[in-house]
Amino acid sequence: MAGTEFGILYFLQSLHTPWLDVLMKEITSLGDHGMFWILTGVVLLCFKKTRLMGLCVILSLAAGLLIGNTFLKNMIARERPCWIDNSVPLLINNPRDYSFPSGHTLASFEGAVSIWLYNRKWGTAALILAALIGFSRMYLFVHFPSDVLGGLVLGILIAVLVHFIVERGKISKKNTCFPGNL
């Protein structure tokens, strides 16, 4: 498996051009620390029409931080491709945490799917961005394809579960005399 994954990563290295290098560095920076998705969630929380969407983005990111970045990365402790083959020059700082799952991809798909479940148009744009962020992590040689796939799948699962819980809570609150119905 590792041989196939390195084969994919080495192929991606053959695609490098100066303009694509700049573009991929910019795209990957949108996923740094989940900040783009955190800010998106906070902005969405500010408007009544998008409040539940924003809540789902923020809750999904929090769950992903705990499950993916805190628990799985440290439990699996997978080395990054750039740690194993340090002959490939990195265009970004060498990450210090473990590789699986890709945290950039995880956060991106949590945010994008949370948006998509409420608004297909915005969500489609967010999903395209999430896919580009995931791709950038392989292009930049800091994640294996299975790290990105793991982040994608886990991000989707977390976002769908959070959406289900939030919507179920909203329905049960409407069926009570709770004064603060959403």
pLDDT in tens, 63-92: 999 999 999 999 999 999 999 999 999 999
Per-residue confidence band for 178, with pLDDT thresholds at 50, 70 and 90: very low
Q: How far apart are CA 45 and CA 155, in angstroms?
A: 20
Spell out the domain ranges in the chain. Answer: 19-84+97-174
Contact 166, 52 (CB under 8 A): yes
Kindly report the pTM of this predicted structure: 0.90
Q: What is the pLDDT of residues 87-113, one digit of tens each?
A: 999 999 999 999 999 999 999 999 999
Q: Which residues of 138-148 are buried (b: 16+ CB within 10 A; e: fewer)?
A: bbbbbbbbbbb
Q: How far apart are CA 145 and CA 152, in angstroms?
A: 10
Return the pLDDT at 1. 61
> Does residue 182 have a pLDDT over 80?
no
DSSP class of residue 117 equals T
- Lookup result for tokens 């041989």: 3
Average pLDDT over residues 43-50: 96
Looking at the chain, the whole-number percentage of residues with pLDDT higher than 70 is 92
Predicted local distance difference test score (pLDDT) of residue 112: 98
